[in-house]
Structures are given as structure tokens and as C-alpha cells.
Amino acid sequence: MKTLMVFDFDHTVVDDNSDTWVKRCLPDQNLPNSLTSSYREGHWTEFMGRVMNYIGDQEVGPDRVRSVLETIPFTGGMMDLLSFISEHKSTIDCIVISDSNTMFIDWILQAAGVQTAVDQVFTNPARLNELGYMEIQHYHSHDCARCPVNLCKKNVLEVYLSEKSNGGVEYERIFYVGDGRNDFCPATCLRGNDVVMPRRGYTLEKLLKRQTDEAPLRARVAAWSSGSDILKELTASLRP
């Protein structure tokens, strides 16, 4: 039986938000107030579509966007963790579930040379349209009231585990590593043998501390500050 590592991306794998990092490709590195004030709670993907349209209107091409995204820093110790996972693919599967988009994540992982660590990325599909502007779509639709309209990470994880089980793959232990509000929902579907790892000082840790009877948690909680903390938990679980 294998181990499954599940990662959020922004403020987890990388030490910032790739969606907000992208504004650095603009000449003044800022978005107009009329654009930033257009965000509605739970509708981040639509907002990012407007951001990328604005960036395209400023004649900033995809090559410039990519070069800027490739400079986003990885969280401390994360490169060593991903390298370890790459070296142990026979016993460790690794997926990313993120509310970013396919192009940003692929560019960042490839530039760092760690894409071999990640087996699958579940995130909002992105493509370049005929003008060379990036367009972002919802990952899926769902009926979870707790999550943003475009992505329920619990739904994604449950479908992934079901498909793996149907293919004969069962996981001895799942590690779920994240930081944000939308990482709480998938934590509630973990089993007693699993581990949810919230980043210290971030929203997920606070939510886990005040969990309610409506969303009981079975998994063990182990907070982390760096990839080294996660690697210690992982290697300890792999010992006979």
C-alpha cells in the first residue's frame, strides 16, 4: 500500500499567491482600484479572468507572464521535500489540488525542475485565446455550500480516491498539506490513519482548532512551518 501526498499550491508549495504575484508583470506592478474592487466573495476565478484580460490589454504577452511567475519563491524546505518524493515514486503518490490554474502551476513546477514529483494537478483549466490573452475556466460545478463556486477540494479528493480504488490502488496513509479556508473541507473526509498538515499561523490551522460537530475531524493534525517539518512526518511514517 502506498502513501498519498496531497498539496495545496499557493502559500504551501510556493511561499506566496501565484494569482497575485502575476501583477508583477505589469509596468507599475499594480492593478487599478476599479479592477481590485470588482472581486466578489467566492468568485475568485472570474476575478482572475478580468485580471488576465487587463494584463493582455496592457500588451503584456504570455512569455512575460511566464517569466514573472517563474520567479515566485518556493516555501522553505519544499524543494527538498519534492525531491524526496520524486526519488520514492514507487511508494509515494503526489497530487496538487489548487484554486490557481493549470498554466501558472505547470510553468512554476517546470521552471523549478520538480514536476516529476507531482503525478496529477487538479486546478482551474487555463488557455491562451486568439489574442494571446489567458482565459481561466471553473474546474467543475458542485453543491458544497462551504467551498467557492468553482472548486470543492473534498469532491476532487473523493473522486480521485474512488478512481484509484477502482484501479486497485489503496493508500495506507494520506497526508493533506495546506494553509487556507478551502483546505478545511477535504480535511473532513480523511480517515483516522491520515494526517492533515496546516501551515502554522494560517487560516486552516485556526479552522481546525475550532472545528464543530457538523464537520468532525478524524485525521491527526500536525502543523508545519517548512517543508522540512513535512518531510520528517513523511519519513517517520515510511519506517517499518
Quick check: 213 pLDDT over 60? no
212 pLDDT band, cuts 50/70/90, is low
Q: Is the pLDDT assigned to residue 15 strictly greater than 70?
A: yes
Distance CA 4, CA 175 (A): 6
Q: Which of 10, 19, 93, 229 is catalytic?
A: 10
Domain coordinates of the chain in residue numbers?
2-15+74-124+139-238, 19-69
> Residue 8 catalytic?
yes
pLDDT tens-place string over residues 139-163? 999 999 989 999 999 999 999 999 9
Contact of 75 with 124, CB cutoff 8 Å:
no
CATH of 2-15+74-124+139-238, one of 3.40.50.1000, 3.40.50.10860, 3.65.10.10, 3.90.470.20: 3.40.50.1000
- Active-site residue flag, 99: no
For 159-195, how does the pLDDT look when each residue is reduced to its tens digit (9 = 90+)? Answer: 999 999 999 999 999 999 999 999 999 999 999 999 9
Q: pLDDT tens across 39-71, in order?
A: 998 899 999 999 999 999 999 999 999 999 999
Residues 6+ apart with CB under 8 A from 77: 226, 227, 228, 229, 230, 231
Q: Quick one: which H or E segment has residue 92? A: strand 92-101
pTM value is 0.95
What pLDDT is attached to residue 50? 97
Is 94 within 8 Å of 33 (Cβ atoms)? no
